[in-house]
Structure 1
Amino acid sequence: MHKNFKNKITYFKPEQIKGIPLPEKFTFPFYYEPHTLTQIAAEDLQNYLENEFSENHNFGLDETQDGLIIGKMFGVLVVQDLEGNLGYLSAFSGKLAGTNDHEKFVPPVFDMLTENSFFKKEEEILNAFNREIEKLESDENYLKSKSDLEKYTKESIEEISTFKIWMKANKAERKRIRQANEKIISDKDLVKQSNLDQFKFRMLKESWNQVLNELNKKNDEFETQIQSLKSERKTKSSALQNQLFGQYTFLNQAGKTKDLASIFSETVYEKPPAGAGECATPKLLQYAFLNDLKPIAFAEFWWGSSPKSEVRKHKHFYPACNGKCRPILKHMLKGIELEKNPLLQNLAEGKDIQIEFEDEFLIVVNKPADLLSVPGIEIQDSVYTRLQERLNPVEPLIVHRLDMATSGLLVVAKTKKAHHFLQNQFIKKTVKKRYLALLSKPVEGEEGEIDLPLRGDFDDRPRQLVCFEHGKKAVTKWKLVERNENTAKVHFWPLTGRTHQLRMHAAHELGLNAPIVGDDLYGKPADRLHLHAAELEFVHPETRETMRFEVKEDF
């Protein structure tokens, strides 16, 4: 048992949990509604963070506090000890206030920050390499060598280019003299002039080559040292990383252990991503298994200011991440009965698609919320499969898609010619689309345009990130329809078609900072995602008429 066992578990008071039944199964980590017990635990931990946590960490909640703002994901794990007493464990992802050692929180799976640990020693060696590389890269002689090489390379190109122009002019003049049959200069002298020009050109290039070779030689002496140090640093860093992977060994309830390297060798990643094993939930489970505590339920919440790239809201609950945690938790939760994965349930069963228009070339449908546009890996039921059955033997050709959770208008082609024509309109962005959304809080202003580039979150698909460096352009126009005390209705016009564009632009703090009601990825779950593709306008592939459809939705 861990020596700080009694310090790490917070037992519930009987009055806190009176009449609350235990969950029959453990929380499905990647999509869940927090159990009442985890809500009580989270509220207790949040109260501690707000009133008792005294470490110097700037969460961005106090404008008077100095230092870099770093919000954190915290986790709570409701556990039962051998005597049947209920309590909860607390953890944070990564480090907190620059350390892993905090009284209320469970320790990491492996503490690389321990004084005199192999990591610290190897880290100091790597830092020594960094200092030596920085010293060489800032050496005055090296900087002068680089500057001279750049300067004289540019001068050589300019001088040689100028000489080539001069030679070309001389050649043209000799040609003119020959064609005019002038006897001022003999052919023999013209040949001599040409040979002289070629000789001067060779001498010029040789002169510059000699200068540049000397400069390159001097520059290469520094570059070789720097590259040698960088190569050695990379080798040592890779060896240290592999050594670290071996130190992160994860338990499951059967007492079986697996290290990071073997866990991720079975995935498409092959190697563990940065930060794997440092998330809250693996820390919590590891501590529970080490101390004979039975895991009952868990939840994670964000504490602090929203980060600049992803959508994280203060005190909101979030699932465990897919990229870093899913492979680890697959091992750690082996043998523990989990709640059903809601994402594998067909929530669209019994919901009909409505036909808004149909002819021999296309069909326009009103898709209900929670129905896939095309078959998924686990769920086959979709607009495609339903139309396939309806139109048999005609094959429905999907032109565009809506997110499963989004309701509204879809146009589907019946012929390859119609499909090609309609698809071209989407590619050229001539199709007009308008969405209706119910936002989770009022917004400022009456209308505007959101321009936030997006890319996938490689560590937590299918979530998206705002990324100004590598993101793809994403632009949305919006207009307020109705402002209420706690919500707002808006129209959205997506000018680009990025994954989760409207959801991200609504939720992100640089967008409207108001998640769409029912957005289980970027906001809070509800009965459905309140996003509806209300209007669709395109040109008919055969008649060339403008077709406009509108389907209202009462949120």
Structure 2
Amino acid sequence: MQGYLTHLHRFNEDITAIQLPDAFTYPFFYEPHPLSMLAAEQVQQYLTAQTDFQHNFGLKPDMPGLVIGKMFGVLVVQDQEGKLGYLAAVSGKLAGTNQNQYFVPPIFDMLDPDGFFIQEENIINAINRRIEELSANPNIKIFKERLVSLQQENDAVLSDLRKFHKANKAERKRIREQAKQQLNEEEYNLIAEDLIKQSYRDQHDYDVAKQACKEKFQRQEEELQQLVQEIDNLKDERKRRSADLQQRLFDQYHFLNAEGNTKPVLDIFQDHINMPPPAGAGECAAPKLLQYAYQHQLKPIALAEFWWGASPSSEVRKHKQYYPSCRGKCEPILGHMLQGLKVDPNPMLQNPAADKELEFIYKDDDIIVVNKPAEFLSVPGINIQDSVQQRIERMYPDIKSPIIIHRLDMSTSGILVLAKNKEAHQIIQDQFIQHTVRKRYTALLEGIIEESEGLIDLPLRVDLDDRPRQMVCYDYGKPARTEFKVVAIEGNRTRIHYFPLTGRTHQLRVHSAHVKGLNAPIVGDDLYGNRADRLHLHAGFISFKHPKTGEVMSFEVTDPF
């Protein structure tokens, strides 16, 4: 083993019987290789026993400091002599630093006290403090209140003047009409000419008053501007410095790949999504590991990432559980870094429904009801077109209206209702919108649920850095409410009925797994729990009114697990 590489670790047990993988790990959907799992276990042993740093992962109740769980990664590598070892990394910083003797260093250390980032950040922080000081000037509030009051006064003055002129106009109209009836043409023309002059005079008086109000307001506004001018200048400087710092920071991130080619992060994201990188791009564990391996002529063999610590309040993260790399930040970068490696195929490009058939429960002239198998798309996807919608369209080519009324996740099995004409589609869709459709799902959860029934109310939104995962968000999430009732306890698992009151993406999966929900992921949930033979979630019952007869239609299919 290359001893000069302080971040290259040996396995502490015999691994000669473990066969190497045929290809490198596809990082966005994988089962950890046995070597990766051994490496992860050794990292976990280190984290449990280490005294190198203090960080509150939320695993010790008396530990001081803010609780922050972290994502760690391991990369099994082979050196130039063919010997195996592993590298370890942490996503982001750890214990306030980017430098740790056990973990590989970052692509660029933003926390270097002598580096440009910290020095420029100190300047920006000083600008922020000065802005706060200036903004606290009580005169600013006073002048702003005076402006509001003055605007109200001006509005009242001009309003009263408009009312007065409106009354004058009405009086002139009365005089004009009376003069028409009582005076000859010459006398009437004299009166009319005088009335026109009065109208011009009223308009002039209003214009003068309006200009006076405007000038008075401007004088007051200029006094306020003198107070806030320095604040505005500082904000402009802060904006400029922040943009320059971000650009300079991006310039530090250049990523290698297995072919020995280097590419800047800006070019990577520009080529991949035609957008600038998100904040934190390149700070995750996987890019750090691959970069270090390439820099030191180590061949990547297998990758795995796991969560260590308490779950965050928004995402679903479980202690010691393996997770794929995030897509928002890592997919473009790893797409470049893995070039030159033989990588496992992307399973998302394979059609899991190729050998599966739809079970028809009911058909008439208006609707079709099917029992959708698990791992079967409801509608065509980006990479896979085969779906319930496509198959029904092939079977019924004469249907011109929308077919899909509602959807089930690809991994969820169960009842799906489809329309054969536009009227049926609209009528049943309205029932979904008005929440008059009754639905029941059955799930098998990893863990024992103590409550017999209840309501889960956790708003959800998409995780912008890791689509299609969802996260709990009280600021921007959409309402998501689920009623539940425990059916049975089966060993260490719970069979449960769900009655969703809303229909958000992954609602039942997140409400099951999240620490603020039932804190028990659905068996087989590869996004929020652990993979199994299938996702144990089944849409087993639905009830709605028939679009033509109005008859209440109910369908029930026993869960297959």
* Fold conserved between structures, TM > 0.5: yes
Partner of 1:186: none
Partner of 1:446: 452
Partner of 2:97: 99
Contact 1:137/1:143 (<8 A) preserved: no
State how 1:250-269 maps to structure 2 within 5 Å: 250-268=255-273
TM-aligned CA deviation for residue 543 of structure 1: 1.4
- Please give the secondary structure, in 2, of the residue aligned with 1:91: strand
| Paired residue type of 1:414 | K
TM-aligned CA deviation for residue 492 of structure 1: 1.0
Partner of 1:528: 534
State how 1:420-431 maps to structure 2 within 5 Å: 420-431=426-437
Change beyond 3 A, Cα 1:67–1:198: farther
- Alignment of 1:337 with 2:335, yes or no, is no
Q: What is the CA–CA distance in structure 1 between the aligned matches of 2:272 and 2:435, rounded to whole Å?
A: 38
Q: What is the CA–CA distance in structure 1 between the aligned matches of 2:161 and 2:41, rounded to whole Å?
A: 78
Partner of 2:8: 9
- Please give the secondary structure, in 1, of the residue aligned with 2:44: helix
Q: What is the CA–CA distance in structure 1 between the aligned matches of 2:506 and 2:4, rounded to whole Å?
A: 43
TM-score, normalised via structure 2 length: 0.89
Partner of 2:558: 552
Change beyond 3 A, Cα 1:151–1:94: farther
- Alignment of 1:72 with 2:70, yes or no, is yes
List runs of 5+ in structure 2 lacking aligned partners.
179-197
- Please give the secondary structure, in 2, of the residue aligned with 1:267: helix
Deviations 1:15-40 (A, max 9, x none): 2x241111111000000111111111
TM-aligned CA deviation for residue 44 of structure 1: 1.0
TM-aligned CA deviation for residue 432 of structure 1: 1.4
Partner of 1:538: 544
TM-aligned CA deviation for residue 404 of structure 1: 0.5
| Paired residue type of 1:51 | A
Q: What is the CA–CA distance in structure 2 between the aligned matches of 1:53 and 1:151, rounded to whole Å?
A: 63
TM-aligned CA deviation for residue 120 of structure 1: 2.3
Contact 1:5/1:291 (<8 A) preserved: no
TM-aligned CA deviation for residue 265 of structure 1: 0.8
- Alignment of 1:325 with 2:330, yes or no, is yes
Partner of 1:277: 282
Q: What is the CA–CA distance in structure 2 between the aligned matches of 1:449 and 1:375, rounded to whole Å?
A: 33
Partner of 1:184: none
Change beyond 3 A, Cα 1:13–1:68: closer
Q: What is the CA–CA distance in structure 1 between the aligned matches of 2:268 and 2:503, rounded to whole Å?
A: 36
State how 1:462-477 maps to structure 2 within 5 Å: 462-477=468-483
1:110 to 96, 108, 111: 108
Partner of 2:53: 55
TM-aligned CA deviation for residue 467 of structure 1: 1.0
TM-aligned CA deviation for residue 171 of structure 1: 8.5
Q: What is the CA–CA distance in structure 2 between the aligned matches of 1:154 and 1:64, rounded to whole Å?
A: 57
| Paired residue type of 1:133 | I
Contact 1:276/1:325 (<8 A) preserved: yes
Deviations 1:160-216 (A, max 9, x none): 76x5799699889999x99xx9xxxxxxxxxxx999999998898677555533321
TM-aligned CA deviation for residue 327 of structure 1: 0.4
Contact 2:78/2:298 (<8 A) preserved: yes
Give the stretch that moved more between structures: 504-513 or 198-207: 198-207
Q: What is the CA–CA distance in structure 2 between the aligned matches of 1:392 and 1:5, rounded to whole Å?
A: 68
Partner of 1:495: 501
TM-aligned CA deviation for residue 45 of structure 1: 0.7
Q: What is the CA–CA distance in structure 1 between the aligned matches of 2:42 and 2:31, rounded to whole Å?
A: 18
Deviations 1:473-531 (A, max 9, x none): 11111111112331111111111111111111111111111111111111111110111
Q: How many residues align?
A: 546
State how 1:202-351 maps to structure 2 within 5 Å: 209=214, 211-268=216-273, 270-351=275-356
State how 1:334-373 maps to structure 2 within 5 Å: 334-373=339-378
TM-score, normalised via structure 1 length: 0.90
- Please give the secondary structure, in 2, of the residue aligned with 1:44: helix
State how 1:151-230 maps to structure 2 within 5 Å: 151-154=149-152, 163=160, 209=214, 211-230=216-235
2:389 to 384, 390, 399: 384
TM-aligned CA deviation for residue 247 of structure 1: 0.8
- Please give the secondary structure, in 2, of the residue aligned with 1:450: strand
- Please give the secondary structure, in 1, of the residue aligned with 2:239: helix
Give the stretch that moved more between structures: 269-278 or 123-132: 123-132
TM-aligned CA deviation for residue 159 of structure 1: 7.3
2:140 to 123, 139, 142: 142
Q: Indicate the RMSD between aligned Cα atoms, in angstroms.
A: 3.0
Change beyond 3 A, Cα 1:51–1:198: same
TM-aligned CA deviation for residue 137 of structure 1: 1.5
Partner of 1:185: none
- Please give the secondary structure, in 2, of the residue aligned with 1:479: strand
